[in-house]
Structure 1
Amino acid sequence: MTTPVLFIHGLCLHASSWDPWIQLFRDAGYDPHAPGWPGDGATVEASRQHPDAIGDHGIDDVVEHFAGVIDRLPSPPILIGHSFGGMIAQKLLGQDRALAAIAIDAAQIKGVLPVPLSALRATLPVFRNPANLHRAVSLTAEQFRFAFANTVSEQESDELHERWTIPAPGKPLFEAATANFDPHSPAKVATDNQTRGPLLLIASGKDHTVPESVTRATLKQYRHSEAVTDLVTFPDRAHSLTIDSGWREVADTCLTWLKQQSL
């Protein structure tokens, strides 16, 4: 049976941004899928036209949504998530719903303390208005360049913004920001699970939204588990590493790691 791979996008990007990865993983012998988040439209344009459908979905909603997707697959999948998709992948792996997970520039989970200034600036478009807790928020081209594409040309950044970005629910960001003050936070991950599948964390050295320090602090949260937890860093990459012109290097790294895990 072909192993399913479930790609989980993060905030501000449409599921179709995984299209190049889908083809690569299919060619490598996997059965890849990239469903959207709750409320996402079938296309980028459809998502932009109906932001109200996207707003007010929190972390638990998204986890439940993807758990339902997993239940409909013929066998447990490998999860590959970017940004908040990386957090969702870790939660599902901790719940033993997947064979393995790769979390790329994953959003901050409960227990991670550093909040670098660049991360605060990157999320300011959401936090500047408390009403965004229940709304979907879109990034301007300038905001996208700072938060995602600060290591590519302005032209490429603008092209990525136009091609892939959609409104994003503000609620997951508010939930992550208050996670360490909430004993029942949805941003909590079962990092002490001893029997879960292997996990690869990928960090970007020039990421403004999820700086490398956040990913390294996430790795420390897994110190009480003997399950495989690896870290790979791309020193010169930013938050757009899954969609920009260097995506193939990241994807190939994922494929190599999965082969090392006999997956």
Structure 2
Amino acid sequence: MTNIVFIHGLWVAHTAWQPWIDYVAEHGHDAIAPAWPGELPTVEETRQNASAQAGFGIDELTAHFADVLARFDTPPVVIGHSFGGLIAQKLLGENKAAAAIAIDPAPIKGVTGLPLAQLRSAFPVLGNPLNRGRAKGLTRAQWRYGFGNAVSQEESDALWEQWSIPSPGKPLFEAAGANLHRHSPAAVDTANATRGPLLITAGSADHTVPRATAEAAHRLYRSDAVTDFHEFEGRGHSLTIDHGWREVADDALAWLARQGIAEAV
């Protein structure tokens, strides 16, 4: 049995990982998906209490999940999506995880030249400096551009209705200004040769984290530790929650098996 900790990103509830938790359990693994600090048990509760998440940044999020990982007898695998992928990389770089899969991860420090689509996806938050101290959600149209552009309008709207939540703006501002600060919380130890294996993925149609951004993060790694890259053709940022999520899950489990960490699907 492999222990797995799932970490979600901005604007998606932690409960959206439940199909993954059930699926990996069918393959003999035990998984959890903790909420972010301030996130409430249900989507509706979180929507009604957005301010509870306001002000939490990358350092606070990383410390929160480091505490979760410390409860295991041995370091678990961490699978993160979007900002969860950035946090997964930080935890792996600190040798707190056995392995990490960063699915379309938010940019770490050192990634430059963000594509226009990524800037447009982030603009609903970054467009107002006051949002740094707030928690903000996406409108149906903003979600369609940032998450649901590779699925039908009907599916995008359904995903927005089912899983979208407000999230803190602070991590987005921290990542956007990472290269301006020597000790940015978005920095990852990319030179750590003693860490476990890492897989970074990209969706070729992703607007929120375009392939170029994920590839740029992959190129920053400079050690001999396993650092793999995989592209999901035609997939957008909703790839962990839309109708094709099992393909992503199967690839994740297959990669873990190749690392000798989990049995093959």
TM-score by length of 2: 0.97
Return the letter of the residue paired with 1:178. Answer: G
Alignment-derived partner of residue 8 in structure 2: 9
* Local SS of the residue matching 1:97: coil
| Residue 180 (1) aligns with residue 179 (2) | yes
Which sections of structure 2, spanning at least 5 residues, go unmatched?
Answer: none
CA RMSD of aligned residues (A): 0.6
* Distance (Å, rounded) in 1 between the aligned partners of 2:201 and 2:156: 21
Alignment-derived partner of residue 162 in structure 1: 161
Alignment-derived partner of residue 236 in structure 1: 234
CA-to-aligned-CA distance 1:174-209 (integer Å, 9 cap, x gap): 000110010000000000000100000111101001
Distance apart, 1:75 and its partner CA: 2.1
| Residue 38 (1) aligns with residue 37 (2) | yes
Return the letter of the residue paired with 1:124. Answer: F
* Distance (Å, rounded) in 2 between the aligned partners of 1:182 and 1:11: 22
Alignment-derived partner of residue 121 in structure 2: 122
Aligned 8 A contact 1:3 1:75 in 2: no
TM-score by length of 1: 0.98
| Residue 246 (1) aligns with residue 244 (2) | yes
* Distance (Å, rounded) in 1 between the aligned partners of 2:145 and 2:159: 13
CA-to-aligned-CA distance 1:71-91 (integer Å, 9 cap, x gap): 112321000000000000000
| Alignment counterpart, residue 259 of structure 2, candidates 249, 258, 261 | 261
Return the letter of the residue paired with 1:99. Answer: A
* Distance (Å, rounded) in 2 between the aligned partners of 1:123 and 1:113: 15
Return the letter of the residue paired with 1:169. Answer: P
- Percent identity over paired residues: 54
CA-to-aligned-CA distance 1:191-237 (integer Å, 9 cap, x gap): 00001000001111010010000011011100x21000000101200
Aligned 8 A contact 1:114 1:213 in 2: no
* Distance (Å, rounded) in 2 between the aligned partners of 1:66 and 1:244: 25
* Runs (4+) off by over 6 Å: none
* Local SS of the residue matching 2:199: strand
